[in-house]
Amino acid sequence: MADERLLEGVVEWWLLEKLTTNYATRVKEALAELVFARLVLERRGKDSRTYYKVNPLKLEEIMAFHNEKGRKPP
């Protein structure tokens, strides 16, 4: 049983690292596009990290995009 947990931990760690590395660039590019379109707002925190939030003034446009793509709004 202990070996199974150890194996699961190693697999999870490797997969998480691989997924993080592979998708970080894609997510960064997607966020840049959303910020450029002003659908998402970004701000720099006191901790120098960048924070993102949906632009409430663009909510109708965002909902239309989701509906157009066949996604149901949350």
Residue-wise over 26-50: b if at least 16 C-beta within 10 A, else e? Answer: eeeeeeeebeeeebbeeeeeeeeee
Q: Which residue has the higher pLDDT, 14 or 74?
A: 14
Per residue in 8-48, pLDDT (tens digit) is 787 888 888 888 877 888 889 999 999 999 999 999 999 99
What is the H or E stretch that residue 47 is in? Answer: none
Q: Which residue has the higher pLDDT, 6 or 44?
A: 44
Please tell me what DSSP assigns to residue 58: G
Please tell me the predicted confidence (pLDDT) of residue 55.
94
Is residue 73 scored above 50 in pLDDT?
A: no
Could you count the other beta carbons within 10 Å of the beta carbon of residue 53? 9
